[in-house]
Amino acid sequence: MKYVGMYTQVSRNNRLTFFLLLMFPILLLSMVWLYLVLLSYCGIEDNSKYIDVGSDVNWASVNKDFLCSLPWVVGIVGVWFIIAYFFNAWMVKKATGAKPLERRENPRVYNIVENLTMTAGMDMPKINIVDDPQLNAFASGIDRKSYTVTVTKGLLNVLNDEELEGVIAHELTHIRNRDTRLLITSIIFVGIITTVMNVCIRSLYWITSDDSSSSSDDDDNKGGVLLAFLIAIILCLIAYVFAIMTRFAISRKREYMADAGGAELCGNPRALASALRKISEKPGLDKVKRDDVAQLFIIHPQGLKGKRGWSFFASLFSTHPDTEERIKILEQF
């Protein structure tokens, strides 16, 4: 299989990473501003329990509050992003239960990785293993110091050397194409925006459910609660749209590109196809609860349910292409 378009893919991923780095702060600040506008419009200001829906927006107050919150939002998010950016490897390991794999524990894996990296002219990545009898693998990391290839124990037990070589070549191609850096960046951003939404919901609930109000204010308080949840829903929808946009930005084409690059790197596309077929029969890491982390896997644990009950609508938002289609393409060569 001829692996074409690697440099195009790398350039595309670099542009998308820069786009996310630029657009995320703009989107987040826009949401903070919208949060203040909606509170003002609904008459929920200065911790007031009373609401006056449809009142004129106090733009001066909104802009003043926004400017006051600006350094706090930028500072907190900036610190959070820096910490997450440099501790992403630890975050992924904790989410998946991965542990470092020493050479003496499995020289077979190390030999395969070393041979492939020398062929590709790459630095040797770290190697992790997940104590899971099921099958899966993924690459992660944002730079040479954090690039990691992770495999499950079941994968090592079930695949032969040629199939394992194909899977590792696939993951190394993700690293070469900068797919992992783009995915890690999106994981951090989505995590931040989800947390901000939770804080907004909790803050609104606290403002509108203050028990210190007198009994004559019960109706106003009930309306405030309903209105607060409406605001929260609107903001959550914005967050959801952002998450969907991120998934579309990180095209499912990346898996086809990694399949092609892995097939070229190992020189045996049918071995990779055979490995994908075995993995699809018993995909591992399905205990990972974070769907953003599951984007990294060679086969999404839930992504196989498209033919077993997943609706067509849900499949449109899948982060991975159909496994059978991937196998079919590989077996054509």
Q: Which residues are catalytic?
A: 171
Separation CA 266–CA 271 (nearest Å): 9
Greatest pairwise CA separation for the chain in angstroms: 77
The alpha carbon of residue 29 and the mean position of all alpha carbons in its chain are separated, in whole angstroms, by: 21
Kindly state the tokens that stand for 29.
């600040």
The radius of gyration of the chain from alpha carbons, rounded to an integer in Å, stands at 24
Amino acid at 302: Q
C-beta separation of 227 from 208 below 8 A = yes
Separation CA 129–CA 5 (nearest Å): 31
Q: How far apart are the first and last CA of the chain?
A: 6
Amino acid at 81: F
The torsion of the CA quartet 293, 299, 300, 304, rounded to 10 degrees, works out to: 180
Separation CA 177–CA 175 (nearest Å): 5
Separation CA 258–CA 83 (nearest Å): 29
Amino acid at 133: P
In the chain, where does DSSP find H-type helix?
Answer: 6-41, 59-86, 88-96, 107-120, 153-158, 161-176, 179-208, 218-249, 253-266, 269-281, 291-294, 312-316, 323-330
Separation CA 79–CA 193 (nearest Å): 14
Angle between helices 161-176 and 269-281 (to 10 degrees): 100
Kindly state the tokens that stand for 192.
């931040």
C-beta separation of 187 from 295 below 8 A = yes
